[in-house]
Amino acid sequence: MASLSSPISTHAPSGSRKRKSGTNSAPAPKKPRGRKVKVDPYATAKGYIDAILGPPDSFSLPESPQDILEMLKTVAEYAKNLEGSVAVASCTGQDAPPPKTAEQLAADVERLQTIINRGVTKQMSWKPSCRDGGARFAFDGLCADPRVFGALFRLGGPPKWKAKKFNRDEFEEFVGDVQGHARYSTLKLMSDVNIRYNPETGEFKVSGTYGDRDAWEARMRAAARAAAITHSPPRPHPMG
């Protein structure tokens, strides 16, 4: 067996025939791969601003009131997203990121929503403490853009807090219904959900408790009925 260090012969074997080169055998020239040009979603707004700040005689308002309203809306959306970028810079101490369109922000929020929902659900495995609703979960994740994290929880901008508590209904309104399944039981959130977020690193933690909520609530109702019967005043005798 030849070793990898053996020299490789560059001569063809004596019995082999060399293929003649023909006009049809030449490989087709490869087309140069061009980079995709990124389209600036705010190019129109920037153009309006440059025109407004330019010489007065070089700018004129559109004739239609609807076109004027559309122009103002375009510039306002750009300004609003710039505010979000500046807010990120102020809370992270880093350079302001480029502004995002509403569509870009919505797509990022949807991805983060899915990540948190799946991450929490995967941790909802069966434990003996599920019977009493005391099983704990803690999901760690990363969201580098505070604007996206704030938009998920409808804060109107990047979070101004490092930790916050949401009740389970609020949390599921943000990330969708969270349910696990184990041992013929449906596991659900049982407590408030704690959220921690570090805007400088993008790290976040979601924690709380879960369990078999339906079975737990059924036991609580049965216990309440039993307590009501035990503490109810004695009925008067019908002959009394």
Residues 101-157: pLDDT tens digits? 889 899 999 999 999 999 999 999 999 999 888 999 999 999 999 999 999 999 988
CB contact at 8 A, 40 and 47: no
d(CA 150, CA 163): 12
Query: What are the distances in angstroms from CA 132 to CA 49, 120, 123, 179?
Result: 61, 19, 17, 16
Q: Are residues 73 and 151 in the same domain?
A: no
Q: For the segment 19-62, what is each residue's pLDDT rounded down to a tens digit?
A: 554 445 555 666 556 566 566 777 777 776 777 777 877 777 78
DSSP letter string, 147-174: HHHHHHTT-SSS-S-SEEEE-HHHHHHH
Tell me, yes or no, whether 139 and 199 share the same domain: yes
Task: Examine residue 184 and state whether it is found in any structural domain, yes or no.
Answer: yes
**Would residue 10 count as lying in a domain?**
no
Confidence at residue 223, expressed as pLDDT on a 0 to 100 scale: 73
The answer as to whether 115 is a domain residue is yes
Are 88 and 175 in the same domain? no
In which domain, by residue range, is 60 found? Answer: 43-92
pLDDT at 6: 42
Q: Helix, strand or coil for residue 109?
A: helix
CA dihedral 220, 224, 230, 232 (to 10 degrees): 180
- Within this chain, do residues 82 and 151 fall inside the same structural domain, yes or no? no
CA dist 85 and 104 (Å) reads 14
Model confidence at 4, in pLDDT bands (50, 70, 90)?
very low
Residues 205, 112, single domain; the answer is yes
| Residue 51 confidence (pLDDT) | 72
119 and 61 in a single domain? The answer is no
Please identify, among 30, 60, 92, the residue that sits at the C-terminal boundary of a domain.
92
- Do 88 and 113 lie in one domain? The reply is no
43-47, 84-88, 114-118, 182-186: segment of lowest average pLDDT: 84-88
**List of residues 6+ apart from 43 with CB closer than 8 A:** none
Domain assignment present for 11:
no
Q: Do 173 and 214 lie in a common domain? A: yes
H-assigned helices in 93-167: 102-122, 146-152
Same domain flag for 160 and 208: yes
pTM for this prediction: 0.61
If one compares 71 and 188, the residue with the highest pLDDT of the two is 188
**pLDDT mean across residues, the chain:** 79
Alpha-carbon distance of 32 to 212, in angstroms, equals 60
Are residues 79 and 118 both part of a single domain? no
17 in any annotated domain: no
Given this model, what pLDDT does residue 163 score?
Answer: 97
- Count: domains in the chain: 2
Which amino acid does the sequence have at 51?
A: A
Q: Has residue 63 been placed in a domain? A: yes
Query: Are 177 and 130 members of one domain?
Result: yes
Q: What is the CA radius of gyration of the chain?
A: 33
Q: Does 9 map to a domain?
A: no
% of the chain residues with pLDDT over 90: 38
Q: Dihedrals φ, ψ of 45, to 5°?
A: -65, -40
**Could you identify the residue written with the tokens 């009501």?**
228
Considering the domain architecture, whether residues 87 and 153 belong to the same structural domain is answered as: no
Per-residue pLDDT at 74 exceeds 90:
no
Tokens of 140: 């760690």
In a domain, 18, yes or no: no
